[in-house]
Structure 1
Amino acid sequence: MASRSSALRYYILVRLLLAPLMIWTITTVVFLLLRATPGDPIDALLGPRAPQEAKDILRGQLGLDAPIWLQYVRYLGNLLRFDLGSSLSSQGETVWQIIQNHFPATVELSVCGMVVAAVVGLGVGAIAASRPNSALDAGGRLFGILTYAVPMYWFGMILQLIFSVQLGWFPIGTRYPLSGTAPQGFTGLYLVDSLLSGNLAQFGTAIYYLALPSLTLGILISGVFERIVRVNLKQTLRADYVEAARARGISERRIVTAHALKNALIPVITVLGLTFASLLGGAVLTEVTFSWPGLANRLYEAISERDYPVVQGLMVFFAVIVAVISILIDILNAYIDPRIRY
């Protein structure tokens, strides 16, 4: 036990030391790619027909006239001071302010989408694995393939056409009606703030506007969990201890829910955490399709506007989230499964 604990501590220490290297690599790649792709942020700000003298003045004010290596050194120096910079297109708005204003919307959408994905994916995968070589098993496979292959933006638009345009059950987009007063609170999460203030009407409205984007995101992600659960649960159901449980007369449902499913969920935890981390930083298509005012949508706008500081700052922020969550997932797996060695 002592040797395993020391090995785990050593592994965690190595991961913590490698995390800054990963963040630095992502930062460097994004910095170089932004400057290698066609387009000029000054043209995006002033327009291509602006006088060249005005362009040169603004370029000097923003520090974009300096050599690339000097811009890179300045940027790394700002990062070491936790200064992510300020937006070029929104004068006076810092990247930290953008994160504060838009990140709660992304968190809310990602959490609700993950809940839908976990419930649907684990349920379909468990049912399919418990009935091998049956119609349910074939249906589970088809579900996993379709949810993986269908483009998210196309699926979102189809749901909008059906449930918003044709049936009128849900709003087409946005996070809250413009005519209403959004929940106010320190978290920025409408569901949480409305509950803390005791305003159930605002809570219901927030759920109403969140439902369709969450279903879109959750259903398409659920296929990943379905495939992992189905494959691992099938292998677990062939284990010796499962056969012994069947020989003792334990019902198949209890074997699946109380014994096999718990062991089959170990790899799911890893995928669950990393998928959630990627959602926090990459639910761009869903947010753009539903005009969701989240951080991924803001990143899409910054890329379109060639807003270097915002793109770089948000990518660093997302990289830190992925690094932290991946380390936490590894630690959680080690404590859940004592067979894991480092």
Structure 2
Amino acid sequence: MSRSTALRAYILTRLLLAPLMLWTITTLVFLLLRATPGDPIDALLGPRAPASAKDALRQQLGLDAPLWSQYLSYLQALLRLDLGSSLASQGQTVWQIIGAHFPATVELTLGGMLVASTVGIGVGILAASRPNSHWDAGGRLFGIFTYAVPVYWFGMILQLLFAVHLRWFPIGTRFPLNVSPPQGPTGLYLVDSLLAGNLQQFGLTLYYLALPSLTLGILISGIFERIVRVNLQQTLKADYVEAARARGIPERRIVLNHALRNALIPVVTVLGLTFASLLGGAVLTEVTFSWPGLANRLYEAIAQRDYPVVQGLMVFFAAIVTIVSLAIDILNAYIDPRIRY
């Protein structure tokens, strides 16, 4: 089989598996929501509401239909790209919720990824270039720390230190409540404030973004630190690195210009998947800092038993992860022929 034929077969296989993965996730979300305790009607009307009012609302929302009928209606709506409407916020569609809250999640994720990649890659290079030293041991401890520490605990510690005691940063939210936020086409405050040429709004956005991004970034930086350290240590033992040392090239130049390029190849894959996962997985960070993102909105919908919002947001997040994973797999297969065999 030629390389081009193998690549086409690999891409076709991944394209066929992507819808199956999405269908599996959507089905699991649908079933698990209805298997968990609680009634969305009680969440809307309260447990003391008359039974007649509950029955009328349940019939109006279609929750009195058999489970298989609800499931078929759910799939038919998904095929039309209709994610439904909120039960708690009457008249608000899931797409409107995504449009209102997703830019905040994107901004937080970008800030967290910037901190994570900078800190993780930096610590990884420092640890790998000094094997069996205090720097190497410190890098290992840093990776263990970031894996073990709960997000909410670490976020509250940073809030107590930097917001309460030192008063360097605000304790939460995305923008001052007494100041009009940037208005623009993207919903990203940093971008919209720059487009409007308002440097004051840009500075305030960075000021409120700093502490949540630092929390999220530090706790995921251990992923990059571990990958960079392990791969860079292996790369530094390669023959071409030894040949560069024999030619008298300075060690700093060998690490940065020769070994690091090859060691960062797997980091690109992890970077893309981590970014996609954070778009839907930054729930604890958003809740801790009262960040008005989509993950925080998902948390509220779960508490309210808002079936359509939970289902719609989970499908949206799953689609993002699936698309990014598919793109990374295809890119890796194109770069490395061994993947498609």
User: For the superposition of Structure 1 and Structure 2, which TM-score range results when normalised by the shorter chain?
Assistant: over 0.9
Shift in Å at residue 304 of structure 1? 0.4
Counterpart in the other structure of 2:6: 7
Report percent identity of matched pairs.
Answer: 81
Q: Which moved more, 1:324-333 or 1:169-178?
A: 324-333
Shift in Å at residue 182 of structure 1? 0.4
Read off the aligned partner of 2:103 and give its amino acid letter.
Answer: P
Cα offsets for 1:28-80 (capped at 9, x unmatched): 00000000000000000000000000000000000000000000000000000
Q: Are the equivalent residues in 2 in contact too, given 1:63–1:71 (CA < 8 A)?
A: yes
Q: Are the equivalent residues in 2 in contact too, given 1:174–1:293 (CA < 8 A)?
A: yes
Cα offsets for 1:248-280 (capped at 9, x unmatched): 111111111111111111111111111111100
Counterpart in the other structure of 2:107: 108
Read off the aligned partner of 1:92 and give its amino acid letter.
Answer: G
Count residues in correspondence: 341
Please report the TM-score for the alignment, with normalisation by the length of structure 2: 0.98
Counterpart in the other structure of 1:214: 213
Tell me how far apart the structure 1 counterparts of residues 338 and 84 of structure 2 sit (CA, whole Å): 45
Could you tell me which runs of 5 or more consecutive residues in structure 1 were left unpaired when the two chains were aligned: none
Counterpart in the other structure of 1:279: 278
- Show the 5 A alignment for 1:49-198: 49-198=48-197
Read off the aligned partner of 2:135 and give its amino acid letter.
Answer: L
Counterpart in the other structure of 2:306: 307
Please report the TM-score for the alignment, with normalisation by the length of structure 1: 0.98
Read off the aligned partner of 2:150 and give its amino acid letter.
Answer: P
Q: Which moved more, 1:66-75 or 1:328-337?
A: 328-337
Shift in Å at residue 12 of structure 1? 1.6
Q: Are the equivalent residues in 1 in contact too, given 2:7–2:334 (CA < 8 A)?
A: no
Q: Are the equivalent residues in 2 in contact too, given 1:266–1:333 (CA < 8 A)?
A: no
Q: Are the equivalent residues in 1 in contact too, given 2:224–2:267 (CA < 8 A)?
A: yes
Cα offsets for 1:6-35 (capped at 9, x unmatched): 322221221111111000000000000000
Shift in Å at residue 331 of structure 1? 2.7
Counterpart in the other structure of 1:324: 323
Tell me how far apart the structure 2 counterparts of residues 253 and 203 of structure 1 sit (CA, whole Å): 37
- Show the 5 A alignment for 1:243-258: 243-258=242-257
Tell me how far apart the structure 1 counterparts of residues 29 and 295 of structure 2 sit (CA, whole Å): 16
Read off the aligned partner of 2:258 and give its amino acid letter.
Answer: H
Matched position secondary structure for 1:242: helix
Shift in Å at residue 231 of structure 1? 0.6
Q: Are the equivalent residues in 1 in contact too, given 2:10–2:340 (CA < 8 A)?
A: no
Tell me how far apart the structure 2 counterparts of residues 341 and 70 of structure 1 sit (CA, whole Å): 41
Counterpart in the other structure of 2:35: 36
Read off the aligned partner of 1:91 and give its amino acid letter.
Answer: Q
Tell me how far apart the structure 2 counterparts of residues 129 and 112 of structure 1 sit (CA, whole Å): 26
Q: What's the Cα RMSD here?
A: 1.1
Counterpart in the other structure of 2:234: 235
Cα offsets for 1:92-149 (capped at 9, x unmatched): 0000000000000000000110010000000000110000000000000010000110
- Show the 5 A alignment for 1:17-28: 17-28=16-27
Counterpart in the other structure of 2:296: 297
Cα offsets for 1:193-214 (capped at 9, x unmatched): 0011111110000000000000
Q: Are the equivalent residues in 1 in contact too, given 2:3–2:337 (CA < 8 A)?
A: no
Tell me how far apart the structure 1 counterparts of residues 271 and 303 of structure 2 sit (CA, whole Å): 30
